[in-house]
């Protein structure tokens, strides 16, 4: 529809197709480069059905990243041995040979000593295979970061467990009732926002109702039919309240639950399905009143409720177990917990179920499918809490009840990267169910005691990396049975000191104690300034890559190609990792890891050979061929191979198998872990929070709600469309937009709450949690829940190394708990909200003027 969009540049030159990387997604772009070699305009590529012709503000400003005068221009070595946030590293430029030799020598030393002593933080989503590099480094499984966990610790494993997908969202093509819970899909964050905003706008224009459940009047909430302010970290209760209403008022899709899910399987007293001698789960035939195996052709109807005697034990259908779990989740009870009026909970449940039009059908590409145009969509704000496993499961169950999982109009799975055009994401599992795939971001970490990881990942068999737990183990290694102490760090495309939750002073101490740190980045950030050697890499407009990251309604890889030659003496990450690997003596292992991570083994002719150093271009070319044999020339012309998602892969890709309403596999994982921990006599067995492993969610309250009474408010943080984490604040255009917007330039507090505490607009406020303190200017607004303060990512930086980035009054993440108690023992999800006390600090007659000098005092704990 945008095929004929006009593209303009006042200067003569040419347009080159490529891919945006100003956030982790991958919108297609066209870049104008003038005849004299200057990139002067970036626009959306109208041929990509994901972003159509759209770009968000970050995408438009990518040329300012390329031309940032403060890019790292050459390898650098530190001369000041003192390391701290205020210590000038005393960088001196060095040659690539010298830099790589130092890094090679130091890492080889660690490798020979004990590979577990390396702490890697490698986070480029566009090059997920780089995340695998530590595997080549002696099978290192450490992770000094919470990328993927702070947002999706519970989310990704649960998507994988339930319907074998990486992420999920609502089908904007047909959805008529969209709940956005703690996420801003379609407006300002999460998936392919530049495209999703268009898809959302079209759905709204055709009359789709939108309800946003968020403590903050987010962009999504502001544009919704309804904003439902909720007390933070109570979203699971809201969802369970909806389920309660739908079940008690018979507003659910029984046919779907019986035919397409394991909700009918009989669960015994131990939580496992009751099986016959051939390991086949039983169901109850409610017509013949007897137990049969799930695949018995004579089943007349399935019982969803009741209690029965099977194989000598009492058993109930999984659906009944869920019903038992939520018997207290009445609208009145849930209202007490969430502060949402009971009548709204009831009404939304009814509206949602009605909109789902249970029983209706639609024909797509000649195939008849159930139409369920209602979807409960959610992300970080809703799921990023201690009981991450159960929370995600609760949100899925709302969708299960109306039969909208993977149905047109409903809640559909979005994959990370399908790799090959004819490869789906569903595999056959056991007992008529699909195979569960919790490890969406890479293989799980095997059990070991003493632990082999610095962050206890050996005990999270289904989770995403719990990087923050290093704050527990590093200073008390004995308690955790550690027989090694990390002393080396490799940071690539990451800002762990910024991204991690919890005690900044401890993270500083960890950095300070490192024998050697190498960082690979474009710019200096809060973490890379602690490095001993910095290796500069290519900007996105100078490099090769092929990627597809969490496309929503589309599929197919996107090419990144160099628009201009590198501006400085920088190298691709591929070249850097190859050179380091060669010096450490692990090049062959690295090529093997890449074959695995990129699935080149699927087409043996694409496999990397031992002893060869492959460039970024080589890898990009192979990834393109893996998709559907198109060569690099084809991609260079077109820029991408993105199409609308094939309906067979998108809608009910598991047809004929059952998806997981009940998570028996979670209980299996728990049992296995318990056995292993007991056998190995792991001393912290008793403090492991086994209740986080459940077949269906419960209504237990998260520990954050039980902090001491003086912490009487909640603190949350949020992203926005202009900012990618905090990193795009280095871009003048972005900084300019952000700094004019009061939402980003102060701590949001409800007007009435502030007045009660004697806090006026613009006053300096002190926010203290049991774990840390931040300062900020009060921004009084009706657009935030009365018990909550909200902090934009724009206020979280503390760097003094970039002229455009300004310090806020301390990093939000210091407020967060980073301990075991506040970590989901199943998924590794940590708590992303805090309990705080909020105090008037001082009048600020000068508002914006005073802020910067004032804030610099509170940038971090000294």
Ligand X SMILES: Nc1nc2c(c(=O)[nH]1)N[C@H]1C(S)=C(S)[C@@H](COP(=O)(O)OP(=O)(O)OC[C@H]3O[C@@H](n4cnc5c(=O)[nH]c(N)nc54)[C@H](O)[C@@H]3O)O[C@H]1N2
| Closest distance of CB 438 from ligand X, Å | 18
Task: Output the smallest distance, CB 55 to ligand SF4, in A.
Answer: 4
Query: What SS3 string covers 317-356?
Result: EHHHHHHHHCCCCCHHHHHHHHCCCHHHHHHHHHHHHHHC
Phi, psi of 441 (to 5 degrees): -100, 5
CB of 148 to ligand X, least distance (A): 6
CB nearer Mo ion, residue 151 or residue 570: 151
User: Which lies closer to Mo ion via its Cβ, residue 167 or residue 514?
Assistant: 167
Shortest Å, Cβ 766 to ligand X: 18
Query: Whose Cβ is closer to ligand SF4: residue 56's or residue 833's?
Result: 56
Per partner kind, with CB cut-offs from 5 to 8 A, the member of Mo ion, ligand X, ligand SF4, none near residue 51 is: ligand SF4
Which of ligand SF4, ligand X, Mo ion, none has residue 262 at its interface (CB below 5 to 8 Å by kind)? none
How far is the C-alpha of 538 from the C-alpha of 568, rounded, in Å? 9
Residue nearest to ligand SF4 (CB): 59
In the bound complex, which residue of the shown chain has the CB atom lying closest to ligand X?
381
The 313-317 sheet, strands edge to edge: 266-267, 313-317, 308-310
Residue 684: name the closest of 524, 380, 476, 381 by CA.
476
119 to 158, contacts with Mo ion by CB under 5 A?
151
Q: Which does 334 bind (CB under 5 to 8 A by kind): ligand SF4, ligand X, Mo ion, none?
A: none
The rounded distance, in Å, linking the Cα atoms of 52 and 561 is: 19
Q: Is 370 helix (H, G, I), strand (E, B) or coil?
A: strand
Q: Least separation, in Å, of the C-beta of 493 and ligand X?
A: 3
The CB-side HSE value for 362 (13 A sphere, CA atoms) comes to 18
Nearest to residue 813, comparing CAs of 784, 791, 780? Answer: 791
End-to-end CA distance of the chain: 56
- Out of ligand SF4, ligand X, Mo ion, none, what residue 117 binds, judged by CB under 5 to 8 A for its kind, is none
Tokens of residue 400, six digits:
């299960």
Q: Which is nearer to ligand SF4, 22 or 402 (CB)?
A: 22
Nearer to ligand SF4, 315 or 548 (CB): 548
Instruction: Name the minimum Å distance from CB 493 to ligand SF4.
Output: 15
DSSP letter for 782, please. Answer: S
Given a contact cutoff of 8 angstroms between Cβ atoms, the answer to whether 400 and 304 are in contact is: no
SS3 per-residue string spanning 157-198: HHHHHHHCCCEEEECCCCCCEEEEECCCCCCCCCCCHHHHHH
Q: Considering beta carbons, is residue 214 or 417 the nearer one to ligand X?
A: 214
State the Cα–Cα distance between residues 564 and 18, nearest whole angstrom.
12
Min separation Cβ 59 and ligand SF4, Å: 3
**Closest distance between Mo ion and the C-beta of residue 151, in Å?**
3
Binding site for ligand X (CB under 6 A): 23-24, 123-124, 146-148, 150-151, 181-185, 188-190, 193, 213-216, 218, 230, 232-233, 235, 379-382, 492-495, 498-499, 520-523, 525, 537, 540, 573, 716-719, 721, 723-727, 790, 793, 796, 812-813, 833
- Residue at token pair 């159960």: 390
792's contact among ligand X, Mo ion, ligand SF4, none, with CB below 5 to 8 A by partner kind, is none
Smallest gap from residue 719 Cβ to Mo ion (A): 9
Handedness of CA 845, 849, 853, 857 (dihedral sign): positive
Cα separation of 283 and 285, whole Å?
A: 7
Q: Considering beta carbons, is residue 198 or 835 the nearer one to ligand SF4?
A: 198
Q: Residues interacting with ligand SF4, by CB under 6 A?
A: 20, 22-23, 25-27, 51, 55-56, 58-59, 192-194
Return the number of the residue (151 or 514) whose C-beta is nearest Mo ion: 151
User: Which residue, 192 or 468, has its beta carbon nearer to ligand SF4?
Assistant: 192
Q: What's the closest the beta carbon of residue 416 comes to ligand X, in angstroms?
A: 12
Q: Please say which residue, 55 or 99, places its beta carbon nearer to ligand SF4.
A: 55
| Separation between Cα atoms, residue 821 and residue 841, nearest integer Å | 31
Interaction site with Mo ion (CB under 5 A): 151
């Amino acid at each position: 529809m945008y095929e004929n969009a006009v593209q303009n540049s006042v200067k003569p030159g040419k347009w080159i197709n490529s891919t945006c990387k100003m956030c982790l997604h991958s919108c297609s772009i066209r870049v104008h480069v003038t005849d004299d070699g200057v990139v002067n305009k970036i626009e959306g590529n109208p041929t990509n059905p994901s972003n159509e012709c759209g770009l968000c503000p970050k995408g438009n400003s990518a040329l300012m990243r390329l031309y940032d005068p403060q890019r790292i221009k050459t390898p650098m070595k530190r001369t000041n041995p003192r390391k701290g946030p205020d210590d000038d590293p005393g960088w001196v430029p060095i040659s690539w040979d010298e830099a790589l030799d130092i890094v090679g020598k130091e890492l080889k030393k660690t490798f020979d000593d004990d590979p577990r002593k390396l702490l890697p933080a490698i986070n480029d989503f566009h090059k997920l295979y780089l995340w695998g590099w530590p595997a080549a480094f002696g099978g290192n499984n450490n992770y000094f970061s919470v990328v993927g966990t702070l947002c999706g610790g519970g989310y990704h494993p649960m998507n994988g467990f339930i319907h074998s997908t990486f992420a999920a969202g609502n089908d904007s093509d047909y959805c008529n009732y969209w709940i956005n819970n703690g996420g801003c899909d379609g407006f300002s964050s999460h998936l392919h926002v530049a495209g999703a905003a268009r898809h959302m706008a079209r759905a709204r224009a055709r009359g789709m109702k939108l309800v946003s459940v968020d403590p903050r009047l987010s962009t999504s909430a502001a544009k919704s039919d309804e904003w439902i302010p909720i007390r933070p970290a109570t979203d699971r209760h809201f969802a369970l309240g909806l389920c309660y209403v739908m079940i008690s008022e018979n507003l659910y899709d029984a046919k779907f639950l019986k035919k397409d899910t394991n909700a009918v399987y009989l669960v015994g007293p131990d939580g496992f399905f009751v099986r016959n001698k051939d390991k086949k789960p039983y169901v109850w035939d409610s017509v013949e009143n007897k137990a049969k195996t799930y695949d018995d052709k004579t089943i007349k109807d399935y019982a969803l409720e009741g209690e029965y005697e099977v194989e000598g034990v009492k058993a109930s259908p999984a659906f009944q177990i869920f019903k038992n779990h939520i018997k207290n989740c009445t609208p009145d009870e849930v209202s007490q917990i969430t502060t949402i009026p009971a009548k709204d909970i009831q009404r939304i449940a009814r509206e949602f179920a009605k909109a789902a039009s249970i029983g209706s059908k639609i024909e797509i590409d000649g195939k008849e499918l159930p139409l369920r145009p209602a979807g409960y969509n959610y992300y970080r704000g809703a799921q990023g809490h201690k009981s991450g496993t159960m929370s995600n499961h609760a949100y899925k169950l709302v969708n299960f009840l109306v039969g909208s999982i993977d149905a047109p109009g409903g809640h559909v799975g979005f994959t990370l990267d399908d790799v090959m055009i004819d490869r789906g994401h569903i595999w056959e599992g056991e007992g008529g169910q699909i195979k569960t795939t919790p490890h969406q971001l890479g293989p799980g970490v095997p059990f070991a005691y003493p632990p082999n990881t610095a962050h206890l990942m050996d005990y999270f068999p289904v989770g995403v990396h719990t990087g923050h737990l290093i704050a527990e183990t590093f200073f008390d290694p004995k308690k955790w049975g550690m027989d090694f102490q990390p002393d080396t760090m490799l940071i690539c495309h990451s800002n762990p000191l910024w991204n991690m939750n919890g005690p900044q002073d401890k993270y500083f101490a960890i950095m300070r104690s490192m024998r050697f740190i190498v960082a690979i980045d474009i710019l200096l950030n809060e973490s890379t300034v602690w490095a001993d050697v910095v290796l500069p890499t290519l900007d996105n407009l100078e490099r090769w890559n092929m990627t597809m990251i969490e496309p929503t309604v589309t599929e197919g890889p996107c090419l990144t190609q160099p628009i201009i030659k590198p501006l400085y003496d920088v190298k691709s990450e591929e070249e850097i990792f190859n050179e380091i690997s060669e010096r450490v003596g692990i090049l062959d292992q690295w090529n093997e890891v890449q074959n695995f991570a990129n699935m080149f083994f699927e087409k043996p002719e694409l496999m990397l050979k031992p002893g060869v150093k492959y460039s970024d271009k080589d890898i990009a070319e192979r990834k393109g061929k893996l998709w559907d044999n198109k060569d690099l020339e084809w991609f260079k012309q077109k820029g991408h191979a993105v199409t609308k998602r094939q309906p067979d892969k998108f809608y009910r890709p598991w047809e004929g198998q059952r998806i997981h309403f009940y998570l028996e596999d979670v209980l299996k994982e728990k049992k296995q872990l318990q056995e292993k921990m007991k056998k190995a006599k792991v001393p912290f067995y008793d403090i492991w929070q086994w209740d986080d492993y459940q077949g269906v969610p419960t209504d237990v309250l998260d520990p954050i709600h039980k902090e001491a009474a003086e912490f009487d408010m909640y603190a949350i943080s949020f992203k926005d469309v202009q900012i990618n984490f905090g990193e795009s604040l280095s871009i003048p255009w972005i900084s300019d937009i952000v700094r004019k917007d009061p939402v980003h330039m102060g701590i949001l507090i409800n007007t009435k709450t502030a007045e009660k505490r004697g806090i006026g607009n613009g006053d300096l406020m002190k926010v203290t949690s049991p774990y840390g303190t931040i300062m900020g200017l009060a921004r009084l607004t009706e657009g935030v829940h009365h018990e909550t303060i909200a902090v934009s990512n724009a206020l979280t930086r503390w760097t003094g190394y970039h002229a455009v980035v300004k310090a806020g009054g301390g990093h939000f993440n210091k407020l967060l708990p980073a301990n075991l108690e506040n970590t989901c023992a199943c998924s590794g999800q940590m708590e992303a909200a805090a309990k705080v006390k909020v105090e008037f600090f001082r009048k600020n007659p000068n508002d914006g003027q005073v802020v910067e000098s004032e804030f610099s005092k509170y940038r971090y704990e000294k």
